[in-house]
Amino acid sequence: MTLFGLNAVHLALLIPALTAALLALSPGYRLSAWINSLAAFLTFLATASLFFSRPPVGLYLQVDDLSVVFIVLGAFVGFTTSLFSASYIAHEIEIGRLTPIRLRFYHAMYQVLMFAMNLALMSNNLGLMWVAIELATLTTVAMVGVYRTHEAIEAAWKYFILGSVGIALALFGTILVYVAAEPVVGQGLRGMVWTVLMTKVALFDPPLLNVAFVFLLLGYGTKVGLAPLHAWLPDAHAEGPTPISAVLSGLLLNVALYAVLRFKMLLAANHAALAPGPLMVTMGLVSLVFAGFMLYRRRDIKRLFAYSSIEHMGIIAFAFGMGGPLANFAGLLHMTMHSLTKSGIFFSVGHIAQVKASQRIDDIRGLTVTHPLLGWALVAGVLAIAGLPPFGIFTSEFLVVSSTFARQPWLAAPLVLGLLVAFGALLLRLQGLAFGEPSPGAAPVRASYLPMLAHLGLVLAAGLYFPPLLTAWFQHVARMLG
C-alpha cells in the first residue's frame, strides 16, 4: 500500500502523528471525535495492508510476521476504542467531568499513543523501541490523570513512578545487550539493530546476555503487568477514562510483551546463554495464581477486570515461556482473544458505570433486568474471559493446558489451579452484577453498543471457527518464536 510515495509503515506512523497535531487545535467535540475515529480507521487500513506487502528492512524500521500480528491487532482495537470513546466522552462532557481544554488534550494524546505503539512494534532498533514504549507510557500516564481528581492524579503518579522504574531497568538491559554486541558487531548504530544482532548473537558473551535479559524481563514485565510488578495497573484502570482501560488491556500490555518476546528470541539464539523460558513461566504462574485470588476481594468493577488482565497476561507469559510450536500458538491466540474480549468488557463496563453513576460492584445489580442488552453482553464477556466454550479463550486455554500436560505435567497443577480460582471469582461476581435484585439508578444508554458487540462477536466466532489462513499464519509465527 503506497500513497504519494509513502508505504504502509510510513502511513501507520504519519497518520496518528499528524492527526495528534490537528486534534490539539480542534475546538469542537464532535469534530475532534470524528477526526480521531477516522484517523484510527485509516491507520488500521494501513497496517492491514502489511499482510500483503511490506517495505524493505531498514536500520530503524522493519516489519516481519511477528510484528504484523501485534500491529494489526493493536490498530483494530485502537479503531474500535476510538468509536466507543466518541460516545463515551460525550457523556463525560455533559456531566462536567471533562472540559473542552482537557478534551483537546485527550484526543491529541490518543493519537500520540497510537503513534508510539506503532513505532515500538515497527522498530528495528532496540533503542528506538525503548523510546517508543516510554513515550506510550508517558502518554497513558497523562490520560489516566485527565479527570484531575485526587484519585486520578494519585493513580497517574503511581503509574509514572513504577513505570519509570520499569523503563529504567529495561534501559539498563538494553545497554547491556549493546555492550555484549560491541566486540562482535562493532561500535555504532549496528550494535542496536535487531536484524543485525540476530545474525551475530551466537558469538555474544553469554553472562552479559543473561544479566541483560533479567533486567529486560523485569523492566518490560512491569509494563506487561506481571506480578509482583503490577501495582500500577489496577489504579490506572480504575481512575482513568474507560477507553484508556480498554487501550491499556488491549494494546499497551501487548506492546511491552512484544519487547520481551524480541529479547527472548535474541537470547534463545545464543545456546550458551540461559534459557529465558523458565523465568517467564515462573512470572506467568505467579501472576496467574496471585491475580486469581485477588479477584475475590475487588469492590470496584474496573479493578476487578484489571486483575483479570494481570491473570491473563500471566497465562500468555507462561505459554510463551513454555515455548514450542503448540504453546507459542496458544500464546498468540490467547493474546488475540484477550485483547478483543477485555476491551469489549471495558466497553460494557463504561456503559454500566455511566448508567449506574458508580463503579462500585455493590451499586450495580440486576443488569439483565434494567438493561437487558447491556447485562447479557456483560454475561457473554465474563463467560468468554473466564474461558468457557464456545468462546475463543476456551480454545487458547485448552491448548495451553494440554501442551503443559504433554511436556511438563507437574506445572499443569498450579496452572489449572490458577485458572479455576479466577473462574470461580468471576462467576461469583457475575451473579450479582447481572442477576441480583436490580439496584437503583437505571438511566438509559445513549452510547453505541456497536464496538462492544463487534468484539464479543469476533471472540465467539473465533471459538466456533478460526479461519485456516489465520491458523497457518499463527503457526508460522509460533515456529519463529522457537
User: Omega into 440 within 30° of 0, i.e. cis?
Assistant: no
Domain ranges of the chain: 275-482
**pLDDT value of position 136:** 93
**pLDDT value of position 211:** 94
Residuewise pLDDT in 10s, the chain (482 residues):
555 557 888 899 999 999 999 998 877 778 888 999 999 999 999 999 998 888 888 889 999 999 999 999 999 999 999 999 888 887 778 777 777 788 888 899 999 999 999 999 999 999 999 999 999 999 999 999 888 888 889 999 999 999 889 999 999 999 999 999 999 998 888 889 999 999 999 999 999 999 999 999 999 999 998 988 888 999 998 888 888 889 888 888 999 999 999 999 999 898 888 889 999 999 999 999 999 999 998 888 999 999 999 999 999 999 999 989 999 999 999 999 999 999 999 999 988 888 887 888 888 888 888 888 888 999 999 999 999 999 999 999 999 999 999 999 999 999 999 999 999 999 999 988 888 788 776 666 666 789 999 999 999 999 999 999 899 999 999 999 87
**pLDDT value of position 2:** 53
Cell of 94: 455533559
**pLDDT value of position 444:** 64
pTM of the predicted structure, to 2 decimals: 0.94
What is d(CA 188, CA 115) in angstroms, rounded to the nearest whole number?
26
